[in-house]
């Protein structure tokens, strides 16, 4: 008795795949951000949980709301919405009203990703687009910084977090300036150890440089990020500020201060490296990183704002298609002139 | 005494690292499958012009007898894999599902199946032209998988000098161990065949490139090199596609073969291990190409093996010899899992270019969810030709095939590294193949 042959499939080779998948890569970034997220809770207590949670809720809400059932567009399952929400939250002031954070997350996904065609099609980093929206819409709330809590007061909540939409929300009590703000407006330099370990005021995610670097190393080990981008950004910023501090050490910050202050590490490691919105070619990555570094320093030193990481990355995002076009890799067996 | 420098693992840039899956068969000696009743020899089982049948139905043929002559220069002869009777010369279903001309032979169950021993060929006294013609008439093609007629490769135009004969023993495809076993079991034949080709080409030396996951092969080959044979065995890094000839030339000699040119343009001639052994078998033992070594493996095979299989044997018989298919078998690949071709039926015959019969199950063939391209760049870092597969795949999806030429789509050798590396499970190399196929077969619109 002859057995029936199996119905053979005709999938074309290669049949083998490596183990990494896109949702896994997204989750890796979430894991890499866990230490910095934990630090934000340590420094700002329940407020951090509320603001981050509201951002993530807003982002996921937008993903769900615009899920049209088409394979293209919706990306609820791949963790990219949660990641956008978390990244946005980490750039916000701890005392921001929750409803604003929620709105920011929603706008980041809908205007930053969905209208472009969904995951993989957007030109700008969705988290930064959400932040740019918030900064333009709520300039006062977005630049009101609470003093650092010292850490450990896990149940503390800033009253402004709970403000209702469109009510006057004067932040009660004391406010504080970020290290870059102090430098820009008061010519006061914050000690480096404070910058590295979070004894400063600032947005949720920028208060602990060391933990951000740690997450970056994890991502590099997992091959989830193009090391050229953070390396070129940080080197450019250090070089730029070395030159400046050689000219006038009193007026301009030291290279290490430049690297560890503000949102630079968060931006360089986690936002500029968003593969969708950064060049895919190796040479393009260097150009992109150098561009971000130069723009950051130009805004910080010569601009009206104390911090410029967000605008620097968004501007370079816009240049990404152009960079990609002119930095196609040299093909095997062809001279350098083949483009 | 081993030169310490030769222990360095040389390699090319980029490429991928699939799990080898070779443990299943790497220590299994080559076995001979028994003769079966029916054989089918397609006339177009090599690259180029199909052969021309010289037998008719009802004719009696001996094992090793010529049954088809070359149909042109880029074509080669075919010989009967068994003693028996020509059943039919007609159209049979081929590996790709299409009907194509073939010779069907019914084996004589009472024949001894002795090879028609036409004695060894005195290769040393042959002129280069006669030597090349002899290779063509022996039906020898590249046994690494492409089945490109070997005599065409060996025909070097006037003025081109070949300095190195490179013998390709990389076997970078996962699962396959047929070249490995040949190197371990027939090192003398390999070295003799290499010497014949080297002397005929006038090359200075023979280099045998072997990935270092085959230390026994490296050791045995080195032990068998005679002092009068200018042969080096070069261990290579385990990386796919180390066995792509241009990659291997880069690994061994550090030279890039210019795009659109051939290895001979950098003074190298590359041949697969199996091809070199086939050349030795013909010139030293008078045996034309009527059988080949292949690996039967994969999670769907009951008893994996390395086999010598007469050409034209149905895959069904090969699989039966290996204990049959497991219940959850879903796909059979001829060749390696990275570049091989799926077969639609167990009745297709084993061809000259068939280096493996790999059976895969539900697990390997389950469709994974495809995500959008997030431009992570893993395919760029995988592509050994430094192409931009992510861009090519996007253009192919948009059917912008002409735009793909500017991105050097024709430099792609379809090694599949990009698809392997893609975390979004985009069928990149498949999309590129579609585009190349369209571009090559498109009729130019009339102006």
Q: What is the pLDDT of residues B129-151, one digit of tens each?
A: 999 999 999 999 999 888 999 99
d(CA B181, CA B189): 13
- Which residues, 6+ apart, have CB-to-CB distance to B390 below 8 Å? A280, B373, B375, B377, B379, B380, B418, B428
Q: CA of B345 to nearest chain A CA: how many angstroms apart?
A: 7
A38-68 pLDDT tens trace: 988 888 888 889 999 999 999 999 988 887 7
Output the domain CATH number for residue A247: 1.10.3430
Average pLDDT over residues B278-293: 94
| B chain contacts of residue A331, beta-carbon cutoff 8 Å | 259, 385-387, 408, 411
Q: Is A72 on the interface with B (CB under 8 A)?
A: yes
B331: Cβ contacts below 8 Å, ≥ 6 apart: A8, A9, A10, A11, A15, B342, B359, B360, B364, B365
Per-residue pLDDT, averaged over B307-332, amounts to 94
Residue of A nearest to B392 (CA): A328
Question: Nearest CB to A8: which of B19, B331, B373?
Answer: B331
| Residue B372 near residue B351 (C-beta atoms within 8 A) | no
- Flag whether residue A70 sits within 8 Å of chain B, measured between CB atoms: no
| pLDDT over 80 at A224, yes or no | yes
Task: In whole angstroms, give the CA distance from residue A192 to residue A239.
Answer: 18
The answer to whether residue B78 is domain-embedded is: no
Is B336 in contact with A13 (Cβ distance < 8 A)? yes
What is the pLDDT, as a whole number, of residue B200? 93
Residue of chain A nearest B261, judged by CA positions = A333
- State chain A's mean pLDDT as an integer: 85
Please answer yes or no on whether B374 and A21 come within 8 Å at the CB atom.
Answer: no
Interface check for A151 against chain B (CB to CB < 8 A): the answer is no
Residue B308 lies in a domain: no
Chain B residues in contact with A226 by the CB 8 A cut-off are 377
Exposure letters B137-146 (e unless 16+ CB within 10 A, then b): bbbbbbbbbe
**Does any domain span residue A19?**
no
- What digits encode the pLDDT tens for the residues B390-442? 999 999 999 999 999 999 999 999 999 999 999 999 999 999 999 999 998 87
Contact A275 B430 (CB under 8 A): no
The verdict on a CB contact (< 8 Å) between B342 and A11 is: yes
Partners of B16 on chain A (C-beta within 8 Å) are 18
Q: Taking 50 as the threshold, does the pLDDT of residue B2 lie above it?
A: no
Does residue A281 belong to the interface with chain B, where contact is any CB pair within 8 Å? yes
Q: What is the pLDDT of residue A69?
A: 66
**Which chain B residues are Cβ-neighbours of A118 within 8 angstroms?**
372
* Residue A275: closest C-alpha in chain B: B376
**Residues of A in Cβ contact (< 8 Å) with B333:** 13, 15
Report the sign of the C-alpha dihedral through residues A134, A137, A138, A142, in that order.
positive
Q: Does A223 touch chain B (CB under 8 A)?
A: yes
Pairwise CB contact (< 8 Å): B375 & A331: no
Residue A159 covered by a domain:
yes
A325 and chain B in contact, CB less than 8 A: no
The minimum CA-CA distance between B421 and chain A, rounded to whole Å, is 6
Lowest mean pLDDT among A154-163, A285-294, B160-169: A154-163
A81-93, pLDDT tens digit by residue? 899 999 999 999 9
Residue of A nearest to B413 (CA): A332
Of A8, A22, A332, the CB nearest to B344: A8
In this complex, the residue of B339, B387, B408 whose CB is nearest that of residue A13 is B339
Residue pair B14/B377 in contact by the 8 Å Cβ criterion:
no
Chain B partners within 8 Å of A11 (Cβ) = 331, 342, 365
B-proximal residues of A, 106-135, CB under 8 Å: 118-121
What is the 3-class SS of chain B, one letter each residue? Answer: CCCHHHHCCECCCCCECCCCCCCCCCCCCEEECCCCCEEEEECCCCCCCCCEECCCCCCEECCCCEEEECCCCCCCCEECCCCEEEEEEEEEECCCCCEEEEEEEEECCCCCCCCCCCCCCCHHHCCHHHHHHHHHHCCCECCCCCCCEHHHHHCCCCCCCCCEEEEEECCCCCCCCHHHHHHHHCHHHHHHHHHHHHHHHCCCEEEEEEECCCHHHHHHHHHHCCCCCCEEEEEECCCECCCCHHHHHHHHHCCCCCCCCCHHHHCEEEEEHHHHHHHHHHHHHCCCCCEEEEEEECCCECCCEEEEEECCCEHHHHHHHCCCECCCEEEEEECCCCCCEECCCCCCECCCCCCEEEEEEHHHHCCCCCCCCCCCCHHHHHCCCCCCHHHHHHHHHCCCHHHHHCCCHHHCCCCCHHHHHCCCCCCHHHHHHHHHHHHHHCCCCCC
Token duo for residue A87: 């990244």
The token duo for A331 is: 């093909």
Kindly state whether residues B281 and B399 are assigned to the same domain.
no
Q: Which of A5, A11, A331 sits opposite B408 (nearest CB)?
A: A331
Q: How many structural domains are present in chain A? A: 1
pLDDT at B54 > cutoff 90:
yes
Shortest alpha-carbon distance between residue A281 and chain B (Å): 7
pLDDT at A175 over 50: yes
Q: What is the spatial distance between Cα B205 and Cα B222, in angstroms, rounded to a whole number?
A: 14
- Of A1 and A224, more confident: A224
Alpha-carbon distances of B278 from B197, B273, B311, rounded to whole Å = 11, 9, 13
Give yes or no for a contact between B64 and B287, defined as CB atoms under 8 angstroms apart.
Answer: yes
For residue B70, tell me if it sits in a domain: no
| pLDDT value for A47 | 87
Is there a domain that residue B354 lies in?
no
Q: What is the per-residue pLDDT for B7?
A: 45
B335: distance to nearest CA of chain A, Å?
10
- A338 in a structural domain: no
Which of B320, B375, B391 to mutate: most A Cβ within 10 Å?
A: B375
Closest-CA residue of A relative to B14 is A332
Lowest mean pLDDT among A20-29, B64-73, B204-213: A20-29
A63 touches chain B (CB under 8 A): no
Structural domain including A144 reads 24-166+175-325
Mean pLDDT of A244-252: 83
Report if residue A339 sits inside a domain.
no
Q: Which residue has the tokens 């030795």?
A: B280
pLDDT digits (tens, 9 = 90+) for B358-400: 999 988 888 788 888 999 999 999 999 999 999 999 999 999 9
Which of B294, B291, B278, B41 lies closest to B140, judged by CA? Answer: B278
ipTM value, please give it: 0.86
Give the model's pLDDT for residue B225: 95
Q: Which of B285, B320, B343 is the last residue of a domain?
A: B285
Q: How close is the nearest chain B Cα to the Cα of A198, in Å?
A: 31
Tokens of B317: 């018989």
Would you say residue A197 lies in a domain? yes
Q: Is the pLDDT of residue A162 over 80?
A: no
Quick one: chain A helix, strand, coil %, rounded to 5? 60, 0, 40
Query: What confidence category does residue A174 fall into, taking pLDDT thresholds of 50, 70 and 90?
Result: low
Interchain CB contacts (distance < 8 Å): A and B: 161
| Total domain count, chain B | 2
Query: CB-based contacts of B3: which residues, under 8 Å, 6+ apart?
Result: none
- Give me the CATH number covering residue B170: 3.40.50.11540
Sheet holding B78-79, edge to edge: B52-53, B66-69, B78-79
CB atoms within 10 A of CB B127: 9
CA B245 to CA B257: how far, in whole Å? 10
**Chain B residues with CB-CB distance to A119 below 8 A:** 371-372, 374
For residues A117 and A127, give the distance between their C-alpha atoms in angstroms, rounded to a whole number.
16
Least confident of A9-23, B37-51, B154-168: A9-23
B421: which chain A residues are within 8 Å (Cβ-Cβ)? 18
Q: Quick check: A328 contacting B, CB < 8 Å? A: yes
Among candidate residues B285, B320, B348, the one where a domain is terminated:
B285
pLDDT band, very low/low/confident/very high, at B97 (cuts 50, 70, 90): confident
Q: Are strands B66-69 and B38-42 parallel, antiparallel or unpaired?
A: unpaired
**Inter-chain touch A333–B337, beta carbons under 8 Å:** no
- Work out the minimum CA distance from A224 to partner chain B, whole angstroms: 8
- pLDDT at position A338 is 43
Distance of residue B120 Cα from the nearest chain A Cα, in angstroms: 40
Closest-CA residue in chain A for B425? A21
Residue B275 lies in a domain: yes
In a domain, A113, yes or no: yes
Top residue of A10, A16, A339 to mutate, by most chain B CBs within 10 Å, is A16
Q: Can you give the length of chain B in residues?
A: 447
* pTM for this model (two decimals): 0.89
- Contact yes or no for A333 and B433 at CB 8 A: no
Q: Which residues of B touch A284 (CB under 8 A)?
A: none
Burial of B178 (0-12, 13-18, 19+ CB in 10 A): buried
Per-residue pLDDT band for B444 (boundaries 50, 70, 90) equals low
Q: What is the DSSP letter of A271?
A: I
User: Cβ–Cβ of A280/B380 closer than 8 Å?
Assistant: yes
* Residues B391, B278 share a domain: no
Chain B residues with CB inside 8 Å of A6's CB? 325, 329-330
Q: How far is CA B218 from the centre of its chain?
A: 20
Integer CA distances (angstroms), B73 to A300, B69, B161, B350, in order: 71, 11, 22, 24
Residue B407: which domain range? 378-441
What's the CA gap between B8 and B3, in Å, rounded?
A: 10
Question: Among the three residues B259, B285, B311, which one is the final residue of a domain in this structure?
Answer: B285
Of B344, B372, B384, the CB nearest to A332: B384
Phi, psi of B66, rounded to the nearest 5 degrees: -65, 130
Mean pLDDT of A237-243: 93
Please indicate whether, in this complex, the C-beta atoms of A9 and B375 are within 8 angstroms of each other.
Answer: no
Residue B329 to residue B316: CA distance in whole angstroms: 13
Spatial CA neighbour of A98 closest among A162, A147, A44 = A162
Does the residue A186 lie in any domain? yes
CB B220 within 8 A of CB B184: yes
Name the DSSP letter for residue A177.
Answer: -
Q: What is the mean pLDDT of residues A5-13?
A: 83
Any chain B CB within 8 A of the CB of A146? no
Per-residue confidence (pLDDT) for residue A146, from 0 to 100: 78
One domain for residues B152 and B279: yes
């Amino acid at each position: 008795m002859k057995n029936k042959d199996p119905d053979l499939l005709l999938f074309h080779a290669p049949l083998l795949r490596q183990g990494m998948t896109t949702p896994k890569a997204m989750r890796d970034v979430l894991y890499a951000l866990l230490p910095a997220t934990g630090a934000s809770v340590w420094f700002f207590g329940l407020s951090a949980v509320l603001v981050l949670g509201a951002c993530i809720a807003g982002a996921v809400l937008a993903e769900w709301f615009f899920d049209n059932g088409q394979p293209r567009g919706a990306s609820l399952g791949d963790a990219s919405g949660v990641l956008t929400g978390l990244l946005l939250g980490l750039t916000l002031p701890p005392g921001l009203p929750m409803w604003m954070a929620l709105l920011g997350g929603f706008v980041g996904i809908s205007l930053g990703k969905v209208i472009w065609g969904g995951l993989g099609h957007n030109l700008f980093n969705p988290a930064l687009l959400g932040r740019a929206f918030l900064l333009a819409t709520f300039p006062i709330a977005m630049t009101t910084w609470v003093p650092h809590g010292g850490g450990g007061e896990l149940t503390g909540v800033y009253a402004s977090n709970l403000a209702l939409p469109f009510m006057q929300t004067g932040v009660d009590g004391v406010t504080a300036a970020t290290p870059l703000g102090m430098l820009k407006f008061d010519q006061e330099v914050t000690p480096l150890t404070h910058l590295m370990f979070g004894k400063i005021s600032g947005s949720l995610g920028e208060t602990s440089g060391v933990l951000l670097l740690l997450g970056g190393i994890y991502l590099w080990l997992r091959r989830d990020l193009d090391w050229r981008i953070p390396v070129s950004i940080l080197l450019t910023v250090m070089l730029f500020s070395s030159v400046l501090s050689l000219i006038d050490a009193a007026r301009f910050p030291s290279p290490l201060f430049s690297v560890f202050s503000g949102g630079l590490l968060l931006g360089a490691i986690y936002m500029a490296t968003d593969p969708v919105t950064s060049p895919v070619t190796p040479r393009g990555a260097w150009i992109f990183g150098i561009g971000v570094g130069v723009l950051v320093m130009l805004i910080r030193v010569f601009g009206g704002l104390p911090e410029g990481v967000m605008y620097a990355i968004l501007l370079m995002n816009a240049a990404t298609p152009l960079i990609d076009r002119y930095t196609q890799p040299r093909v095997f067996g062809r001279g350098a002139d083949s483009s | 005494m081993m030169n310490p420098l030769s222990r360095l693992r040389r390699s090319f840039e980029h490429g991928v690292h699939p799990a080898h899956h070779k443990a299943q068969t790497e220590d299994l000696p080559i076995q001979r499958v028994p003769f079966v009743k029916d054989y089918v020899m397609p006339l177009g089982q090599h690259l180029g012009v199909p052969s021309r049948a010289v037998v008719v139905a009802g004719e009696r043929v001996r094992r090793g007898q010529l049954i088809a002559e070359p149909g042109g220069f880029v074509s080669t002869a075919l010989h009967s894999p068994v003693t028996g009777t020509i059943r039919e010369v007609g159209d049979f279903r081929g590996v790709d599902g299409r009907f194509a001309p073939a010779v069907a032979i019914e084996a004589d169950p009472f024949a001894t199946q002795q090879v028609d021993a036409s004695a060894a060929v005195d290769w040393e006294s042959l002129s280069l032209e006669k030597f090349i013609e002899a290779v063509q008439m022996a039906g020898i093609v590249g046994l690494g998988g492409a089945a490109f007629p070997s005599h065409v490769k060996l025909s070097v135009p006037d003025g081109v000098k070949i300095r190195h004969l490179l013998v390709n023993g990389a076997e970078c495809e996962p699962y396959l161990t047929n070249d490995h076993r040949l190197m371990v079991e027939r090192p003398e034949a390999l070295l003799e065949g290499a010497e014949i080709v080297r002397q005929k080409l006038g090359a200075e030396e023979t280099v045998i490139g072997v990935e270092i996951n085959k230390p026994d092969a490296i050791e045995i080959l080195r032990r068998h090199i005679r002092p009068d044979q200018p042969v080096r065995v070069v261990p290579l890094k385990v990386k796919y596609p180390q066995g792509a000839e241009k990659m291997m030339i880069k690994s061994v000699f550090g030279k890039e073969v210019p795009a659109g040119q051939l290895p001979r343009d950098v003074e190298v001639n590359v041949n697969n291990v199996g091809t070199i052994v086939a050349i030795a078998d013909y010139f030293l033992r008078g045996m034309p190409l009527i059988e080949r070594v292949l690996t039967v493996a994969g999670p769907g095979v009951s008893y994996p093996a390395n086999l010598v299989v007469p050409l034209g044997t149905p895959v069904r018989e090969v699989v039966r010899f290996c204990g049959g298919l497991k219940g959850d078998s879903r796909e059979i690949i001829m060749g390696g899992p990275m570049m091989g071709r799926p077969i639609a039926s167990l009745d297709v015959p084993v061809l000259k270019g068939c280096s493996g019969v790999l059976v895969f199950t539900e697990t390997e063939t389950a469709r994974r969810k495809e995500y959008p391209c997030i431009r992570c760049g893993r395919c760029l870092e995988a592509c050994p030709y430094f192409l931009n597969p992510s861009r090519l795949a996007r253009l192919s999806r948009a059917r912008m095939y002409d735009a793909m030429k500017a991105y050097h789509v024709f430099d792609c050798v379809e090694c599949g590294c990009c698809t392997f590396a893609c975390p979004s499970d985009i069928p990149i190399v498949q999309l590129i193949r579609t585009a190349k196929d369209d571009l090559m077969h498109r009729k130019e619109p009339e102006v």
